[in-house]
Amino acid sequence: MRSAEPIREELPESRRWGTRGTAGATFAGQLTFENVSRRFGRTAAVEDVSFTLKPGEIACLLGPSGCGKTTLLRIAAGIDKPDAGRLLFDGQEMAGPERFVPPEKRNIGLMFQDFALFPHLSIIDNVAFGLNSLPKGEARGIALHALERVGLAHYAHSYPHNLSGGEQQRVALARALVPRPQVLLMDEPFSGLDQRLRESVRAETLTLLRETRASCLLVTHDPVEAMGLADRIFLMRQGRLIQAGTPEELYRHPADAPAARFFSDTDEVRGEVRDGLVVTPLGTFACPERVKGPDALVLIRPQGIRRAAAGETGVEGLVTETRFQGDDVKCRVLFKGLDEPLTALLGSKAAPQRGETALFRVDPDHVFVFELASLQPI
């Protein structure tokens, strides 16, 4: 019988999951996209994308809406077919000019953005749905064990509408993992959760994925989420793979100005290129060889602008606005030689008051120099 009222949990999210280390492990698979393209009419959803998801790796397809992330996931799952190129699973062609293997033959799991739970099935039957090749009793036993791992065994005979969004997410994760897929695909699995739950659910999900040892390719538009989850990030834009690497590599060495903007807010000023350096009103910085000049676009992260300590030299700036944010204060600072104030993110104890003049220094690790042609948005 269905419960009339939604079930309310009082425990913190981090205490609602089951015992760590009890999830069943699998043999991780390798997934390779080889010059994959997909068009819808005249629109190129994916254009000549190549990369490999390594066995046991957790990777994120990252980029704004409409950049081709979900299309790649659908091709990997077998829901869609590429117009060109090949998809390989452990070296065997799954989709390409010569072959197409249906989804149920790929040992690849898929977790949808909206969880896609069956409303007419109980929680345990939802989780056991992908185990239809097993006897019913055995399938339900495996499903119950999976529910225990995500802390929901006591809801086995409830229905999806009785559960909160965070609980439904955990049911969907258990259902995706019970067949022990070698590769798990996740399409923005945390986007439906409120901010309060998202961080703890992400952390527990990451722990569970590490336990299962499955390779995982996760789609997200949130760079903070990607950096917190991924071993590697594949940054997409307008159907193309722009950059691939570890979170630190992409954050510290963005391929272009739009990539730098995507990972954080930036202040942008024009600089003059002189003898391998770029000169700006905030100081002189190293200029990469790719920038030929005579002018360059200089991007500075707000956290890279700090107040000069006593005895340090710096650039004088007038604080025109302050916004208290707890541990930090966001300041707008007008520097000589610039028409508009820049944003600086300062520790609350070091932040000057509005209307105050102070000396500032810029951390070169938060400065990125590109051609002026890089002005286009991501």
Answer whether 0.85 is exceeded by the pTM.
yes
Predicted pLDDT at 353: 93
**What letter would DSSP give residue 4?**
S
The helix or strand, by DSSP H or E, that contains position 39, with its residue range, turns out to be strand 31-40
Identify the band that residue 38 occupies on the pLDDT scale cut at 50, 70 and 90: very high
How far is residue 141's CA from residue 130's CA, in Å, rounded to a whole number? 13
Provide the pairing of β-strand 328-335 with 315-324: antiparallel
**Domains of the chain from N-terminus onward:** 18-252 (3.40.50.300), 264-375 (2.40.50.140)
For residue 357, list its beta bridge partners.
318
The helix or strand, by DSSP H or E, that contains position 105, with its residue range, turns out to be none
Percentage with pLDDT > 90 across the chain: 68
Candidate from 20-24, 32-36, 370-374 with smallest mean pLDDT: 20-24
Strand order in the sheet with 215-220: 108-111, 183-187, 215-220, 58-62, 232-237, 240-245
Identify the band that residue 292 occupies on the pLDDT scale cut at 50, 70 and 90: confident
The helix or strand, by DSSP H or E, that contains position 22, with its residue range, turns out to be none
Mean pLDDT of the chain: 89
Choice between 336 and 198, residue whose per-residue pLDDT is larger:
336
Predicted pLDDT at 359: 96
Predicted pLDDT at 311: 87
